[in-house]
Every structure is written in structure tokens, then in C-alpha cells.
Amino acid sequence: MQPPGPPPAYAPANGDFTFVSSADAEDLSGSIATPDVKLNLGGGGEFIKESTATTFLRQRGYGWLLEVEDEDPEDNKPLLEELDIDLKDIYYKIRCVLMPMPSLGFNRQVVRDNPDFWGPLAVVLFFSMISLYGQFRVVSWIITIWIFGSLTIFLLARVLGGEVAYGQVLGVIGYSLLPLIVIAPVLVVVGSFEMVSTLIKLFGVFWAAYSAASLLVGEEFKTKKPLLIYPIFLLYIYFLSLYTGV
């Protein structure tokens, strides 16, 4: 009977691994090939091979440094939309103010019920520009009167029982300066005719005051309407005096 020899080396059937003794391992040498890692960039299914640095970072848990955040669609809004400026809405409100007759079919309440800031501000600034005539100081006065005059009308309306916000009054008073802007070039032409010029000024003031009062003076005032219409009329007379320099 022969003595038992060393156990045979275990060799799996698939040949993937071979177990050897430590003595035999000294004569073994080899290398491990770098895995061919590919990165999908989402460009129609195309793949590119990762660089060595990218693979190094991913193997050590720093792959988050290579991540790219998706762009937020809200960051690509147009400037007008970002500033909440609706040119169509402003144009419609301008038409409502310049043509205050109910028979024309405009929904004029949108000027009061959907107030904005940029439209009235643009009207006030434009009125300030045409009011210069070498007196630059009137620009600050017009803006100041617009803000504090609207505040006075707002407080008076609230005292009289009106349900109106300061932003609504600010928008209506600002937009209603448009009639005074319309008559400005006419006054330049007929300035030498004092009587005609006076009539045009009165027409412009009545036009502006009626446009503003018809939006701000609702049915809730009932018999108190003159108490609010009168200060609105005086406010536009003061605006006109800043324009004419009187």
C-alpha cells in the first residue's frame, strides 16, 4: 500500500480560479487589466470611456464630485416674466383708462381688481419726462405726489367705507395720468391761444379724474361719492400744474 500523497490541487470546472499552495505561489506572476469602464452621458445612447482620474475618484467614493446638476427650467425664464411684466395686460389697461366709456365694451375693472406696479410707474416716469422743460426737480415731485397722493386717496376711501387696497389706488392713479400725457403735445401747439389752452387743460383734468374716479368710487360710497371725487380732481390739477410749471 502506497503512502498517501499530497492532495490534488482543486481546479474548478469553469477555469475561473485555481487554488495553489503558498510554495507554488512564489513562481507565479501576472497583472490585472484595468476595467474598461464606460460612462453614459445621455446623448442618444452614446458612451465614452472614463478617464483614469474619473475611475480613481469613483473607486474611492468621490464620484459625487463628478455629478452635474440638471438645469432648472425656472432659471431660464425671460426677463419680462421674471420681473412679472405683462405687456399685453399693460396695453389693455392703458386702453381702459384712455377710453373710459362703458359703451366701448372694455372690462375696466381689471385696472382696479388686477393692479400692477410697472405699468403705472412707466406712465408716471413718462409724465415726468415730458414735464421737465429745464426744471428737473419736478420729476421727484411728481413721483412723490403719486405715492403720497395715492396714499391720501386710499386712507380717505377706507374711512368712507370703501373696500380698496393701496396697491389698487396706486395703480389707478398712475394709469389715469395718461389723459394728461395725451393733451401735452396739443398744449405745445395751441400754447399761444390762452383760451383754447385753458379749455384743453380742463378737458384733460376732467378726463383723468373721471377715469380714476369711475374705477375707485364704487357703489359702497353711495351719497359720499363727492367726498372722494373732489380730492381726486384736485390731485390731477396739481399734477397738471407740475407739468405746466404754474
Which residues are bridge partners to 85 per DSSP?
A: none
Q: Would you tell me how many other CB atoms lie within 10 Å of the CB of residue 114?
A: 14
CA angle 169, 200, 168 (to 5 degrees): 5
Would you give per-residue pLDDT tens digits along the chain (246 residues)?
555 555 555 455 555 555 555 555 555 565 555 555 454 544 444 444 556 766 766 676 656 556 655 555 555 667 667 767 788 888 888 888 888 877 777 788 888 888 888 888 889 888 888 876 646 667 788 888 899 999 999 998 888 877 888 998 999 999 999 999 998 888 888 877 888 888 999 999 999 998 898 888 877 666 777 888 899 999 999 888 887 765
Q: Is the pTM of this model over 0.85?
A: no
Instruction: With beta carbons less than 8 A apart as the criterion, state whether 106 and 96 touch.
Output: yes
Name the burial class of residue 118, with classes exposed (0-12), middle (13-18) and buried (19+) by CB atoms within 10 angstroms of its CB.
middle
Query: What is the pLDDT, as a whole number, of residue 137?
Result: 66
Q: What is the per-residue pLDDT across 15-62, written as a single tens digit (0 to 9) for each?
A: 555 555 555 555 556 555 555 545 454 444 444 455 676 676 667 665
E strands, 18-137, are: 38-40, 47-49
Question: Whose grid coordinates read 362703458?
Answer: 102
